[in-house]
Every structure is written in C-alpha cells, then in structure tokens.
Amino acid sequence: MDDEYAKFIRRMNPPRVVIDNDACEHATVIKVDSVNKHGVLLDVVQALTDLNLIITKAYMSSDGGWFMDVFNVTDYGGNKIRDERILNYIQKTLETDACFLPSLRDSVGVMPSSKEHTSIELMGTERPGLLSELCAVLTDLRCNVVNAEIWTHNERAAAVVHVTDESTGSPIEEDSERLSKIKQLLCYLLKGNNGLRTAKMALSPPGLIHTERRLHQMMFADRDYERVEGKGMTRAKDWSSRPDVTVLDCIEKDYTVITMRSKDRPKLLFDTICTLTDMQYVVFHGTVNTARMEAYQEYYIRHVDGFPIRSEAEQQRLRQCLEAAIERRSSEGVELELCTEDRVGLLSDITRIFRENSLYIKRAKISTKGGKAKDTFYVTDASGDPVDPKAIDSICRQIGQTILQVKQSWRSFSPKPPKETRTAGFLLGNLFKTNFRLIRSCS
C-alpha cells in the first residue's frame, strides 16, 4: 500500500528539470526538483556522470518530502553544454519516472541484459600481470571478451567481464562443465599467494547492471577499505596523496557532517554518493566545489533510520570507506587508449605485450562496438612507479602508433578556477539559509 501511495505522489508531482546556460559564466546549470526518496540523489548524479559530464559545483537539499539539487556541469573540455541533443536527453532522462523507480536502483543497472552475453564478476588478489593471465585463460577456453572493467585498490582486484562464445557469439550456457572450468582456473589465478582472503567468481544476476556501481559494491563487500600494513598504499608517496575525510557531529541540527578534500577528477561525486547510498546513509544537505585541481565536498547526513552516527567505530568505518571510494578510481599511471578492429584474442595479445614490457595495469576499461575495440588502460611499472616515457614510446611503436596512444588528461582542458574557493566550514555556517533560498527560487 505504501508503494502505491508513493507512486501516486510521484505521478502527482513529477520531477521538474530546469537547464540554464545563462546563469553561470563557465558552466551549464541544471536544477532538479522532485518528490524525495532514498537513492534519488544517486540516480541524478549517475545520469549526469554516464553522459561524461564534469560536475564542477553542486548544492543539495532534501529536508522533508522534497528533493532539490543544483548542478554546475561542463563537458571534458570545460565548456558549457550547447548540444541540443544532449540537453534534451538530460531533460527527458531526469524528468522521466524511470530515473526514480527503485527497480533501476536496486538492480544497479544500466548495462545490457545478460541475454546478450555472460556477465562474470571476479574478486581476488592484485598483482602485476594478472589481467594478462585472466585474458589468456579466457581465450584458451574459447571465450571472447566483449566488455570489461577492472579496478585495483589496496592489494585487491575486482572486475566485471562480459563474455560470449568465441565461435557463436552467444552467451555461455549456465551450469555447464565449461563454466565450471572457467571458474576453477580464474579463481586459481585470482587467489595468488594470499591464503587469507579467498578469490571469488560469480555470474552477475539477470537484468540490468551498472558496472561501476557494482565494482564499488564488490570492493566494499571485500573490505578493501581496510589497510594492509606494510604494503601497497602505505608507501610514503601514496600516503601523501590520500584524501582528507573528516566525520563530525552536528549536535544542534542532529546531523553527522562529512567533509572531504581530494584531488579533483571525473566521476568523483558519483563515487562518494554511491558509497553513502549503498551504506544506507541519506544526504539531507550538501555542497560540492572544485578549484585549482582540488575538490571539496561537505554533506549533512543521517542513517536511513533517521538517526545520525552515534559511535566512533561507525564514524571511523565511514571515513575508511569514503577514502577507498575516492582512491579506487584515482588515475594512477599513464593512460593509454587502444582503438582498432576487434578480433578474437586481441585483448590477450595486448595485455601480454604490456606484461612482457613490465607494465602494470592498475585499471582498465574494455569495450567493443560495431566491430571496433576501444580499450583504456592505466599503467605503471612493475613497482607501481611512473613508467619511463621511452618504454611507452617503444610499446606504442610495437603495437602501432595509430592503434595505441597516450591519452591526454581531461585536466589539460579544465577551465580556469573561479576567483572564490570554498573552505572547510563554509557549509556549516551558511548551508541552511543558502539551500532554502534556492528552494524558494525554484518553486
């Protein structure tokens, strides 16, 4: 009955989106106003992020039964969004009820149905050469990798891989002997020398799946936020670049206040909001600001049960999880982009060349469309240090300089920072009057 009432309220008060290209000198301003529901903020941020938009500023308020957000967005070149097709798509996507239906959120989904391929989830120990070995096993077992995304963090590796049968292009039949063999071999590779933490392979549930959100969930479930003493991220150069996350009580307003400072990068807001949502926290008020390559986020939150965080242990766990969410997608290493005609075994061959030249793949995104392969790799040397440019040039010549190229960072195109830079504590004194003024202006 409650679900039917909620649907009725949404139908009577459909989401409203206002897109303004004149209100801000450097960005397109998008205002979203709708009935409030847990996860709505993530739905909106996910929709904007999936369009490869850069969110430079955001203001959020969801007290009571209403949700209101204001986003300043640009493209990767730091320009306003002028393309009418993109603007119309944003309007249509954010105003449709489908954007706010729980079925999309609960199934974590925007990727194609598993009817087109077999979706495999992998979790195990991170090490150099791992992706190359996984690809070689899949190729030997006559599997073609259609799409994949691989993340590594804190000595752990997670991947969502979509495969088809090499000869037929169809999904691999479930409960088959072949699938059991795939699981056995991949889990053996993923376990590595770590006898304490198990390797896992599972088939993704049927239906839609948002790969990046699923990777966050997998690494969170694997407790990658727990630091490995003496290894990986404990190196001095890594500690110096870690995000600064604080969790404080706001007793007078009965909230928990989170502030985060980190290097700015695309999809940063999605990563933090995704983690808060999946940990069952609700953002009631918030502000996001980026300047001089730094991002500042501040949120007033409560648990879904309506209470702020009461224990120091829970505050510490939230800090660790948000640090991990920021670090998982940090652009570690040189970004290489491969564009060529797709063929069976291509990924296995490319990753083998990387391994033979002592390149360490820290993160990768594999995609194929219309017979073309477009893959992105983030690589370091075998010790996790920057790669010698001469080694990169040599590998590009070996594979083909028109096929494999060093990709220019989005930061090279970032707009000039605004004159004003928000500092910690800005929201603490001004949040409530600011957000409620915004609400009145949009009503």
Per-residue confidence (pLDDT) for residue 325, from 0 to 100: 97
Across residues 275-296, what is the average pLDDT?
Answer: 94
pLDDT value at residue 292: 79
Please give the pLDDT value at position 304: 93
Length of the chain: 443
In this predicted structure, what is the pLDDT of residue 195? 56
**Mean pLDDT of all residues in 381-401:** 91
Nearest alpha-carbon partner for 71 in 82, 83, 61 = 61
Contacts for 215 with CB less than 8 Å, ≥ 6 apart: 149, 151, 158, 159, 160, 328
pLDDT of residue 10: 54
pLDDT score of 15 more than 60: yes
Across residues 198-220, what is the average pLDDT? 85
Name the average pLDDT for the chain.
Answer: 83
Averaged pLDDT for residues 207-214: 84
Is residue 296 within 8 A of residue 422, CB to CB? The reply is: yes
CA distances from 278 to 127, 220, 272, 273, 306 (A): 28, 9, 10, 9, 16
pLDDT reported for residue 95 = 86
Q: How far apart are CA 140 and CA 379, in angstroms?
A: 25
**Residue 62: per-residue pLDDT:** 86
User: Is 197 a residue whose pLDDT tops 80?
Assistant: no
Residue % of the chain over a pLDDT of 90: 62
Looking at the domain that runs over 114-207+332-408, which CATH code has it been given? Answer: 3.30.70.260
Mean pLDDT computed over 146-168 = 93
Q: pLDDT value at position 421? A: 42
Asked if 309 and 286 touch (Cβ cutoff 8 Å), the reply is: no
Q: What pLDDT does 97 receive? A: 53
More confident: 74 or 101: 74
Q: Which residues share a beta bridge with 111? A: 209
Q: Where are the beta strands (DSSP E) in 95-210?
A: 118-125, 143-153, 156-165, 200-203
What's this model's pTM, rounded to 2 decimal places? 0.85
Which of 98-102, 120-124, 241-245 is predicted least confidently? 98-102
Residues spanned by CATH 3.30.70.260 within the chain?
A: 114-207+332-408
Q: Looking at the predicted structure, is the pLDDT value of residue 12 above 70?
A: no
Q: pLDDT value at position 222?
A: 94
In this predicted structure, the answer to whether residue 85 has a pLDDT above a threshold of 90 is yes
| Res. 428: pLDDT tops 60 | no
104 pLDDT more than 60: no
**What mean pLDDT comes out for the span 92-107?**
53
pLDDT of residue 173: 76
pLDDT tens digits along 346-371? 999 999 999 999 999 999 999 999 99
Q: What's the confidence (pLDDT) of residue 13?
A: 65
Give the whole-angstrom CA distance, residue 315 versus residue 259.
12
Q: Both tokens of residue 263?
A: 């290097």
pLDDT at 213: 95
The contacts of residue 159 (CB under 8 Å, 6+ apart) are: 120, 121, 122, 123, 134, 148, 149, 150, 151, 215
Distance CA 275, CA 441 (A): 30
| Per-residue pLDDT tens over the stretch 305-344 | 999 998 999 999 999 999 999 999 986 789 999 999 999 8
Q: Compute how many other C-beta atoms are within 10 angstroms of the C-beta atom of residue 400.
A: 11
**Residue 102's pLDDT band (cuts 50, 70, 90):** very low
For residues 269-277, give the mean pLDDT: 97
Structure tokens at 95: 């105003």
